Amino acid sequence: MVAFPNCKINIGLNIINKRPDGFHNLETIFYPINWKDALEVISNKSADTDITYSQTGLVIPGNTTDNLCVKAYHLLKQDFPAMPSVKMHLHKALPMGAGLGGGSADAAFALRMLNETFELGLNRQQLINYSLQLGSDCPFFIINKPCYATGRGEMLEEVVLDLSAYKILLVNPGIHINTGWAFSQLTPGAKSHDLRELIKLPVAQWQDRIDNDFEKPVSAAHPAIAAIKSKMLAEGALYAAMSGSGSTVFGIFEKELLPDLNFPAEYFYKWV
């Protein structure tokens, strides 16, 4: 089985408070984006090891045993010991540490694929429960539709939001943002607005109303991020913001008014 894990952007991201378990309660809108990795999972019944993992594309730092796709397999294997050995190959196209949730998407898709391939019979809520053990963004990719998220990000409510009438530009300057550091820069607090209501406004009215709590401190530490956002807005973006804890910036543009933007060669950028 082959699948194509897509990334996401955050439209608004408010950090409400720190929880006793060390995580943070948040409020955000997750929106799926058509920029994808590729993941293949096949049965490998004759293998001496549970999982044979390989990868191509962008280099993923760290040990293979720490890869979230590998962890997804072992997580299910604990509860389904009869699940056969597999070969798993990931082609990585989504930049890492970018606020796009690429690793979380890979993990969630791995759970979904293993469930389907080996007929484990897990329903959506059960998959969400497993995925939360792999990362706070993972549950969204089980649903993979626009969602209002609270809690750690696992409390998901589908919302009506369709940006297909626009083009979205994603720009990542190749800066890896440490999520722990990013959280340490914040002073959490509840907001007076409700993102579910704000997204009902025309996109052109979002800029002064919908923000990302991480954007100010991360941009202060990395001025290139603020420069990307300013460039997008100057060139006609209806709305521009940083996604997640960074460092990717996205801009929403009218399809008929797309600018010819140039960025340094080391940047990742893509229109979707």
One DSSP character per residue, the chain reads -EE--EEEEEEEEEEEEE-TTS-EEEEEEEEEEEEE-EEEEEE-TT-SSSEEEEEEESPPPS-GGG-HHHHHHHHHHHH-TTPPPEEEEEEE-SPSSSSS-HHHHHHHHHHHHHHHHTT----HHHHHHHHHTT-TTHHHHHH-S-EEEETTTTEEEE-----TTEEEEEEE-SPPPPHHHHHHT------SS-HHHHTTS-GGG-TTT--BTTHHHHHHH-HHHHHHHHHHHHTT-SEEEE-TTSS-EEEEEEGGG-------TT-EEEE-
| Residue 137 annotated as catalytic | yes
Candidates 36, 37, 106, 137; catalytic one:
137
Candidates 8, 36, 229, 231; catalytic one:
8
| Residue 8 annotated as catalytic | yes
Which residues are catalytically annotated? 8, 137
